Structure 1
Amino acid sequence: MGLRRVRRHRTAAVGALLALSLLTGCGSGSGTDEAATSDSGGVAGPAMAERDAAGEPAQGGAAGTATDTRVDQRSIVYTGSLEIRVDDVEAAARDAVASATRAGGFVGGDQRRSTAADAVAELQLRVPADRFYPVVEELARLGSQQRRQIDTQDVTEETIDLDARITSQRARVDSARRLLAQADSIGDLISLENELARREADLASLEAKKRRLADLTALSTITVTLVGPDATTDDDENQLGFLVGLSGGWTVFLASMTVLFTVLGAVLPWLLVFGVPLGLLLWWNRRRRRNRPSEPALVAPVDTPPPPGVAAAGVSAAPPVPGARSAP
């Protein structure tokens, strides 16, 4: 009889825990089920009630937590962006990587485009937060600084909130594990296993967010862009003026000449193979026609008067043409 009563109490406690979990939702971080269940799986004990009555914060709660306002104790995310014009992009990139390595950081990304003087290198450097500004100043001395942008984000409140939620979620996971160890029926066992898996997944998600935030606050990000002496940047493209137009026109002219010579180089072999023999043939044909002898033209005979001796000898002259005028 006593054993049956104990089992009945355990089943009631499990049902109350499941109903409370549905009400509180996933990852609420309020620690409500800790106040509803004690270490033995029943209702909260006198100790928990005394703590609530005395105004003490529940385990894992964020109530009563004072934020440390000191600058060295706050969680700040630093991000910087630099654009530097240098004479040798490759040498400057090596120096930038060496600066980050000496500071205890590493290279998070490296993109380079090398075309003679129009070379560009974009490096993403991760350095410790306490070495952020010294590394920025060291990078600025690599050449002529064109642009600098530094942003900060204070995530102290978010960090404290995550810590409180993680503590509360761990307590909820421990509570579900204790109830799972006391389950005496298949239905309670399955329900508690599902609830425990859900709480553990929520805890893993919170811990992943905390690790990501800790990584951002521990290591700052510096994006440095190194451009060659003749490289064109976005700021240069947005400028206006005569010199900018002249520079752009000269660049277009050089590009056009490059295209023209490229086409000429592609057509030249065809001209040498087919154009030269065809030109020689036309020249020889024209010269042959010029040196050919011309044929005499056919000319009609012209009537001339007979000499005077022929007329005296009795040879009659040709009758006069009607309408023709006689010679004087």
Structure 2
Amino acid sequence: MGSIRGSRSTVRSGAVALVVALALAGCSAGPTEEAGNADRADSAAKAPAGAGPGVAEQQGQPAAGDPVRYRADERAIIYTGSMTVRVENVERAAARAATIVTGAGGFVGGDKRTSGDSDAEASLELRVPAAKFGQVVDEIAGLGDPERRDIATQDVTEESLDLDARIATQRARVESGRRLLAQAKNLNDLVMLEGELAKREADLASLEAKKRRLADLTALSTITAVLLGPGTHGAGDEGQPGFVAGVKGGWKALVASLAVLLTVLGALLPWLVALGVPVAGVVWLALRLNRRRRPLPPPA
């Protein structure tokens, strides 16, 4: 009996010691450790089922509220450029520019030229693939002496993705409208559903047209190249200060004023002829009658 009581007291003493040790361990664990445990529990709850620790970080997905980042090859960018180049021969330079563009996989969208000995000018609208935009710009600039270059870009990635989503939604609406139209049982429902379906199809066609236009602008860049002859005045020549520029400006103003004056005279000439001839005839006839009525002077 004494051995049994001794063993029971030993067990009770061990249990009490274990409870005291657990209490001390709980007190020693501070709020930092408890917060860390809570964070790990939340992460484990948000992670997909069966995923190990650190899976959310390994997936590389952006957190909520972070901006979406696209790679350079995933972006939709519209490139536009305009440049002015002084060349020796405008015709040869324009032909060479067309060859450069067609060789890069593009085409000439517009061609305006003014001929002359030294004041010839050509304005070309060139459409080139976006990947060859910089190369074509450099080659066009190499045709002569570049005087002006203006390059602009427009990022339309978000607009393109928005159009894709709207087109997918509108296509689903069109399909649902067609199904409802096939199930119409009376004339009123048929007419109403046909009108709604036509409206949805028109909206879908408009969205698809915008998408095609945007795809065309991103696939083919636009370059406006102005080729000037040796004696042609460029767009920035008139803004240069100095005596020569003043003389040129005064001469142009004089020529413009004379042109306006001659225009006014030309407009008034028909009226002067139409009204002046009858008035002159009346005045001449009145003077002639007045002379006949005047008495003769007495003889000396």
Q: Is the shorter-chain TM-score for this pair beyond 0.5, marking a shared fold?
A: yes
Amino acid corresponding to residue 133 of structure 1 in structure 2: G
Q: TM-score, normalised on structure 1? A: 0.55
Which residue is 1:92 aligned to?
Answer: 93
CA distance in 2, matches of 1:249, 1:197: 63
Structure 1, residues 268-299: CA drift from partner, whole Å, max 9, x if none?
xxxxxxxxxxxxxxxxxxxxxxxxxxxxxxxx
Q: Judge conservation of contact 1:68–1:74 (CA < 8 Å) in 2.
A: no
State the shift of 1:69 in Å. Answer: 1.1
Amino acid at match of 1:170: R
Residue 140 of structure 1 deviates from its aligned partner by 0.5
Which residues in structure 2 correspond to 1:1-328 (within 5 Å)?
A: 67=68, 69-245=70-246
Residue 244 (structure 1) shift: 3.4
> How far 1:238 sits from its partner (Å)?
1.1
Q: Secondary structure at the match of 1:133?
A: helix
Is the alpha carbon distance of 1:185 and 1:133 closer, same or farther for their aligned partners in structure 2, counting shifts above 3 Å?
same
- Secondary structure in 2 matching 1:107: strand
Between the aligned residues of both structures, percent identity stands at 61
Letter aligned with residue 235 of structure 1: G
Amino acid at match of 1:167: A
Instruction: Kindly state the Cα deviation for residue 159 of structure 1 after the two structures are TM-superposed.
Output: 0.2
| CA positional deviation for 1:89 | 0.5
TM-score of the two chains, using structure 2 as the length reference = 0.60
Amino acid at match of 2:70: T
1:3-60 Cα shifts (integer Å, max 9, x gaps): xxxxxxxxxxxxxxxxxxxxxxxxxxxxxxxxxxxxxxxxxxxxxxxxxxxxxxxxxx
> 2: CA distance between counterparts of 1:172 and 1:236?
58
Structure with greater helix share of residues: 2
Task: Give the Cα–Cα distance (whole angstroms) in 2 for the partners of residues 201 and 119 of structure 1.
Answer: 48
Deviation at 1:245, TM superposition (A): 4.2
For 1:146 and 1:67, locate their aligned partners in 2 and report how far apart those are by CA, in whole Å. Answer: 40
> Which blocks of at least 5 consecutive residues in structure 2 are unaligned?
1-64, 255-300
Partner AA of 1:125 in structure 2: L
Q: How far apart, in 1, do the equivalents of 2:120 and 2:250 lie?
A: 21
Structure 1 residues 237-282: Cα deviation after superposition (integer angstroms, max 9, x where no partner): 11111343466789999xxxxxxxxxxxxxxxxxxxxxxxxxxxxx
Cα distance in 1, alignment partners of residues 252 and 196 from structure 2: 68
Q: Separation in 2 of the partners of 1:68 and 1:194?
A: 42
- CA distance in structure 2 between the partners assigned to 1:173 and 1:251 by the alignment: 63
SS in 2 for 1:135: helix
- 2:147 is aligned with what amino acid? Q
Residue 234 of structure 1 aligns to a residue in which SS?
coil
Is the 8 Å Cα contact of residues 77 and 153 (structure 1) preserved in structure 2?
A: yes
- In 1: Cα distance, 2:177 partner to 2:251 partner: 75
SS at match of 1:237: coil
Which position in structure 2 is the counterpart of 1:284?
A: none
Letter of the structure 2 residue corresponding to residue 162 of structure 1: L
Q: 1:201 is matched by which residue type in structure 2? A: A
Structure 2 vs 1, CA of residues 201 and 249 (structure 1 numbering), >3 Å: closer, same or farther? closer
Equivalent in the alignment of 1:309: none
Structure 1 segments of 4+ aligned residues over 3 angstroms from their partners = 243-253
In the aligned structure 1, how far is the partner of 2:69 from the partner of 2:136? Answer: 28
- In 1, the alpha carbon distance for the partners of 2:158 and 2:180 equals 33
Number of aligned residue pairs: 190
Q: For 1:202-243, what per-residue CA distance to the aligned partner results, in whole angstroms no more than 9, with x for missing partners?
A: 000000000000000000000000001110112001111134
**One-letter amino acid of the counterpart of residue 103, structure 2:** R
* Partner Cα separation in structure 1 for residue 230 and residue 246 of structure 2: 18
Instruction: Give 5+ residue unaligned stretches, structure 1.
Output: 1-63, 254-328
Deviation for aligned residue 1:67: 4.9
Letter in 2 for 1:173: V
CA distance in 1, matches of 2:71, 2:164: 19
